[in-house]
Chain A
Amino acid sequence: MDLTVVWAFIIAFAVFAYVVMDGFDLGIGILFPTFNAGRERDRAMNSIAPVWDGNETWLVLGGGGLFAAFPLAYAVILPATYPLIIAMLLGLVFRGVAFEYRWRDPGHQKFWDMAFTGGSFVAALAQGMTLGALLQGIDVVDRAYAGSWWDWLTPYTLLTGLGTVAGYALLGSTWLIWKLDGDEQAHARKLAVRAAVATIALMGAVSLYNITLNAEYAEHWLSAPEIYWVAPVPVVTAIIAISMLRAITRERNSKPFWLAIALFFLGMSGLGVTIWPYVVPPGLTIWDAAAPERSQIFMLVGVAITMPLIIAYTVWAYWVFRGKVADEGYH
């Protein structure tokens, strides 16, 4: 078996896990101002307080894993998207400390709530734009980024950035449908409908734009025999989108959230089909950028041993904090 392909899937899994898990955290941050200060916001934030840190760790695995398994890709993508990465990191600084600071300083809680929202929005937008900058292609000469300062800023990257913001808002609002009840759940449901419509529209726009980006992308989707393999993806996506919208508007607990994850899974699978076999289009394939076999094997042993444990105790931590965020002990 080709270890480079295995590693491409491991990194893709880490990115997917990050996008879904920190996606709903960041989405709640983005939607935070629509909740009333006080009990509503407290409940929204407390629904993720015990788990956000673990969720964010997948970003370190995505970045660190890319560094380890595809060092050349890491060394090219990060300088190419420098301002976006710095903005994302600073956004995550504000978002992360707000979890603690807003409780420590009631006098400035509004300020830290704004930092929570601003940080979440900037991080989400920067992540989406980084994805767009990668998909639209990065100039590489002599194992180094060879483009200019502003290559990452195009209408396409803005589209992928906004798509990510909308998608995270969808994940966040469907998570809140699950974790809240009463008026707050009704409010989350309203938000989820809007976020779902925006996400689906932007996903469609990005998908169509992808086909026009370069001939090879179009070939993956539109020529035989590939078309028979990939044609079901948009169809299944449409079915999922419709059932998710139905689930959001009805009285359900976790179903909208799981369907939103399924939507993300299909969207990312679609991106995988588009970009394959490149890690940095248009020049670097996964094999061009891969670490040597000794590095791949060494890390694979680590992943094989630790990943089942990580998943097990992560599931346990979620299980411990299961159920609605409630204040039923409060009389």
Chain B
Amino acid sequence: MFDNLDALLLARIQFAFTVSFHFFFPAFSIGLASYLAVLEGLWLKTGKSVYLDLFKYWLKIFAIAFAMGVVSGIVMSYQFGTNWSVFSDKAGPVIGPLMAYEVLTAFFLEAGFLGVMLFGMNKVGKKLHFAATLMVALGTFVSAFWILSVNSWMQTPTGYEIGANGQFLPGPSWWDIVFNPSFPYRLVHTVMAAYLTTAFVVGAVGAWHLLKDRANPHARKMFSMAMWMAAIVTPAQIFAGDMHGLNTLEHQPAKVMAMEGHYQSHPEGAPLILFGIPDSEAKTVRYAIEIPKLSSLILKHDLNAPLAGLDTIPDDQEPPVGTVFWSFRVMIGIGFAMLGIGLWSLWGRVRGRLYDMPWLHRAAVLMGPSGFAAVLAGWITTEVGRQPYVIYGVLRTADAASPLDAPAVAASLLAFVLVYFTVFGIGVWYILKLMGKAPHAGEYGVKRGDVGPIRTAGITPGPTQNPGGDETLPTHAPDEKEPV
């Protein structure tokens, strides 16, 4: 089956597959952890039970998503060594410490407080429990900070020296390494992407239940919160993405040329190619629909500014244009669709009819997975766009792989594909099942059968025995006795 593929290509496919699959979970859990912290904070502040119910509703979903993120993340921390050992040896002294900081400041924080967040409310009280929730949310953000610093350093390496043994060595300033030129942009863009991904999932679940019962107060609350995010964060994200693009133009011009489909240089203003079919053999975009000079206006803020094309880049240093061109357009298209939803919801809100617009609700349901698609397309753009380098301009991907034979990599790739699609497919199905149930008063927390994970804090019939419980609330609906 893999006879025609070499070990390098298989290793690249394997990394692309495992990292893409993995990133779905943090893209969701970074935003969801913050959302849970907001819900719990609002509950403590206002005392309104709707927030506690929503907290418990999403906590169950978070538990599954987080578990999938953890197990697929451990795979990533070993993939560098198993499949990219030359890269690991060479870059380890620079990026290894950043990843060690991620473990020390983020992974332990998330994992250490997760148990209390899931099962500990009755053990530690409301305030300490809220602190645990905040720590988990903080951990997801700190994790993004470090791993995006690593990725950004690989895109725009600074602050390093090359040692006698060929290793990348840290220079005198770690600040130059951590805060490399593309890092602030990538961090902001990625974290907002995670927030939007979560917001559109929450919005879709709210909309789904509004379509079934537009009076459901829980569905209303979550839909409204999600639509505020769509309306406010989407424009900010488009702005941040534009800034990120300008930063890329400065540091990785070939990537932007591929995104724009500019095979040729345009000395007197470059057109914006909306659509077309890139043909790298003929070095042209066929059937292009373009707006003259607009690309120069966007990238240089001047209609007639000259823009260099891929004709200025040696062929063996060009990224694959087709993939980058298309994935970029998918991301942009989704971004503007999100903006459309946000504006639509604002219009509905102004008219006081936010909960009485079935077409908006249907559109929001449809847009539920849009954040995942946009995030994936964005990462494909930036990762394929920096090829053929793994450390931009310095170390080629082809020179970074482990000395493994193709059949070994093929076998592991096949195993990952089978296991991930089965195990994570089932996990996503469990999440969808939970989302399919309408949120209601007296919502359960994370269930653990008839015995609690701990003394006195199990899921047992009785108001004080609910892990996320609040004594003042009815925690036991008659139809909720069986574990979900």
Spell out A's residues near B (CB within 8 Å): 39, 42-43, 46-47, 49-51, 53-54, 56-57, 59-61, 63-65, 67-69, 71-72, 74-79, 82-83, 85-86, 89-90, 92-97, 99-101, 103-106, 143-146, 149, 291-292, 294-295, 298-299, 302-303, 306-307, 310, 313-314, 317, 320-321, 323-331
Contact = CB atoms under 8 A, between A and B. Distances in A.
B269 interface: no
A36 B135 CA distance: 37
Contacts of A302: 97, 100-101, 104-105
Q: Which of B67, B100, B113, B427 has the most CB of A within 10 A?
A: B100
A299 to B, nearest CB: 5
Contact of B454 (A46, A106, A145): A46
B340 interface: no
B120 A50 contact: yes
A314 B75 contact: no
Nearest to A54: B111
A92 B450 CA distance: 26
Nearest to B454: A321
Interface of B: 63-64, 67-68, 70-75, 77-78, 80-82, 85-86, 88-89, 91-94, 96-97, 99-105, 107-116, 118-120, 123-124, 135, 163, 165, 167, 169-170, 172, 174, 402-405, 408, 411-412, 415-416, 419-420, 423, 426-427, 430, 433-434, 447-456, 458, 460-462, 464-465, 482-484
B200 to A, nearest CB: 23
Given A49-B453, A295-B97, A329-B465, A93 B460 contact: no
B80 A104 contact: no
Given A78-B85, A327-B460, A329-B460, A104 B452 contact: no
A86 B412 contact: yes
B92 A67 contact: yes
Given A75-B88, A295-B97, A307-B104, A51 B455 contact: no
Given A92-B74, A298-B174, A149 B405 contact: yes
A59 to B, nearest CB: 7
A64 B99 contact: yes
B120 A56 contact: no
A76 B67 contact: no
A74 B111 contact: no
B448 A97 contact: no
A75 B119 contact: no
Given A57-B103, A92-B74, A68 B96 contact: yes
A89 B74 contact: yes
Contact of B81 (A74, A90, A326): A74
A104 B119 contact: no
Contacts, number: 293
Given A106-B483, A149-B405, A321 B92 contact: no
A49 B467 CA distance: 13
Contacts of A146: 403
B451 A330 contact: yes
B97 to A, nearest CB: 5
A82 B413 CA distance: 12
Contacts of B101: 299, 302
Contacts of A330: 450-451, 458, 460-461, 465
B20 to A, nearest CB: 16
B459 to A, nearest CB: 9
A97 B71 contact: yes
Contacts of A50: 114-116, 118-120, 453-454
Contacts of A321: 115, 119-120, 123, 453-454
Contacts of B433: 104
B105 A63 contact: no
Nearest to B171: A294
Contacts of B114: 50, 53-54
B451 A39 contact: yes
B70 A145 contact: no
In the complex, the 7 A-B pairs of residues with the closest C-beta atoms, listed nearest first = A71-B92, A50-B115, A68-B96, A78-B81, A75-B89, A96-B71, A75-B85
Contacts of B91: 71
B380 to A, nearest CB: 24
Given A79-B85, A299-B101, A323 B455 contact: yes
